[in-house]
A and B are shown apart, each in its own frame.
Chain A
Amino acid sequence: MRKTLYLVLGIGTPVILILAWFAVSAGSTDTFFPPLSYILERFQALWLFAHFQSDILVSLLNLVIGFALASVIGVGLGFVLAMLPKVGEYLDPVIHFFRSIPPVALVPIFVALIGFGVEMRVTSIAMAAVFPTLIATVDGLRGVDSTLKDVSAVYRLSTREKVLGVYLPAAGPHIASGMQVSLQTAFVVMIASEMLGPAQGIGAMTLLAQQSFMIADMWSGILLLGVIGFAANMIFELGRRRLLAWYIGSRQLAKAS
């Protein structure tokens, strides 16, 4: 009985909120808050599918390529640094300094170096998003249980077997949470790189709409970006749960006992 009530509340409240927005904003003449029906109309006109290829696809492609680059470089470099502790000691402060720079602050530098093109956007995204993954990978590998290391030495596992069979799974949960932060950073930098300077992309369109006072277009851009941010995180989360099912299961068991 109680459970059904909570289920109804869980599904019902968002629906009511959206309906309330629809009802309250209907016929609104407030410049900043146009009617939701009009926003949705503009949403359809803009994104489905007039600007789909020219802007949405471009933005998403930059995000995916930048994030993929950041993940590969972050995990790869992380392995190198963790396996060669001395090199790690030399580079640790430099890496932590770069990690501390607010990621969007790197965008103007890449604009200065490579201009406003697609390369700049992908590079900015990759460079800003690499650090969370890199640091999490190093931390995860350094935290691998020493018994595991000893056992794999006793069994004389080859380097390949050790890396793929022991180290990668052991550090997997760490790496995954680093990558999740990287994905969010990548998303922020994707928008920032589009908003800075005259360019295509959803962020650029949204800011342009605001500057030219097309308020409903701006709202539709905000909605689209919100949905993309949510969807990107959800897809990542689903993938993480699949890959780390063994870990999540063992954690739940440990918690239950």
Chain B
Amino acid sequence: MKPHQLGRGALGLLGSIVLWQLIAGTHLAGAALPSPLATFAALGADVSGGAFWSAVGQTVGVALLGLIASALAGIVLGVLVGSFPAARYSTLALLEFLKPVPPIVILPLVVLILGPTAKMAWLLTFFGCLIPIITQTMAGVHDTDPVARDTARSYGLGRVEILWRVVLPSAMPFIGTALRVAAPVALIVAVVAGLLGGGPGLGKNLYVAQSAGDYASLYAYVLVLGILGLLFIGLSRLGERRLLHWHPSYREEMV
């Protein structure tokens, strides 16, 4: 990014805060739209307390643990199912049906069984990220160059070795993309689990602030979630690039 772009972006941010202040100053929306000053004051009060940081920790922890668990399970299942055409065809309809169904749909069931706990939030996050990772891994396995696979076989590599040295590396870009897309989703589901399922963390704080009419805190939490969202998106992008810097599609980008 060039310096003048950075300057303009900062100006745009500043401008929107000023606009927010002006609209809040008209008192059209009353208490439901606190001024930026009040919001930042609430944010400052939150940041200095320990309860806030433990809520952040719970939300981020649920999102990360859910993401890691779904990545492990998704890659293993995706490689297994993707390696056998019979398994691939048998699961096709089920996976295609489940793919566009968001985890919020099963929230009532998961809350019913596990209650408003961190475990519930974690399970929901796990399910929310699992299906896309499985299908993307399967697509990657399926996409392996048959010539490379046959070459490895004629060199006498075993099944496991072919899987490790040929199939998995060629599926890596697919897996990388799946994980990059799944990371922000994990944060979203962790918030959903708190907001609607009562699981501990920032989502629950949002709900409490809204029902108590503590609007300055509500806006402060939304700001914090925006920053967390930016971090999740940015770090997953960086991670994908670090992980795949050797892959042809990324090497071209570097030049």
Residues of A within 8 A of B (CB): 5-7, 9-14, 17, 32, 86, 89-94, 96-109, 111-113, 184, 187-188, 191-192, 195-196, 206-207, 209-210, 215, 218-219, 221-222, 225-226, 229-230, 232-234
Closest 8 CB pairs of A and B: A100-B229, A233-B100, A90-B12, A108-B210, A210-B108, A13-B90, A93-B9, A102-B188
Min CB gap B81→A, angstroms: 12
Bound Cα distance from A101 to B8, whole angstroms = 22
Q: Which residues of B contact A112 (CB under 8 A)?
A: 32, 210, 213, 215, 218
Q: Is B148 an interface residue (CB 8 A)?
A: no
Pair A218/B108 contact, Cβ less than 8 Å: yes
Contact yes or no, B113 A101, CB < 8 A: no
A95 to B99, CA, bound (A): 28
A92-B192 in contact (CB<8A): no
Do A207 and B108 form a contact, CB below 8 Å, given A6-B86, A9-B90, A226-B101? Answer: yes
**Which chain B residues lie closer than 8 Å to A225 at the CB level?**
101, 105
By the criterion CB–CB under 8 Å, are B191 and A105 in contact? yes
Question: By the criterion CB–CB under 8 Å, are A104 and B195 in contact?
Answer: yes
Shortest Cβ distance from residue B225 to the other chain A in the assembled complex, whole angstroms: 5
B interface vs A, CB < 8 Å?
A: 5, 8-13, 15-16, 29, 32-33, 85-86, 89-94, 97-102, 104-109, 111-113, 184, 187-188, 191-192, 195-196, 203, 206-207, 209-210, 213, 215, 218-219, 221-222, 225-230, 232-233
With A192-B195, A222-B105 known as contacts, the answer to whether A92 contacts B90 (CB < 8 A) is no
Contact of A226 (CB < 8 Å), options: B5, B105, B215:
B105
Chain B contacts of A105 at CB under 8 A? 191, 195, 203, 206, 221-222, 225
- Which B residue sits closest to A221, measured CB to CB? B108
**B contact residues around A184 at 8 Å (CB):** 100, 102
Count of A-B contacts judged by CB separation below 8 Å? 160
Which A residues are in CB contact (< 8 Å) with B219?
109
Q: How far is the CA of A184 from the CA of B191 in the complex (A)?
A: 17
The secondary-structure label for the interface of chain B is helix
Contact residues of A: prevailing secondary structure: helix
Q: Which residues of B contact A96 (CB under 8 A)?
A: 230
Q: Are B206 and A90 in contact, with the CB atoms below 8 A?
A: no
Q: Give Cα A90 to B97, complex, Å.
A: 41
CA distance A111 to B101 in the complex (A): 25
Contact check, B101 vs A109: say whether CB atoms are below 8 A apart: no
Specify which chain B residues have a CB less than 8 angstroms from the CB of A101 in the assembled complex. 222, 225-226, 229
Instruction: Assess the A103–B86 pair: CB atoms within 8 A.
Output: no
Residue in A closest to B105 when the chains form the complex, CB atoms: A225
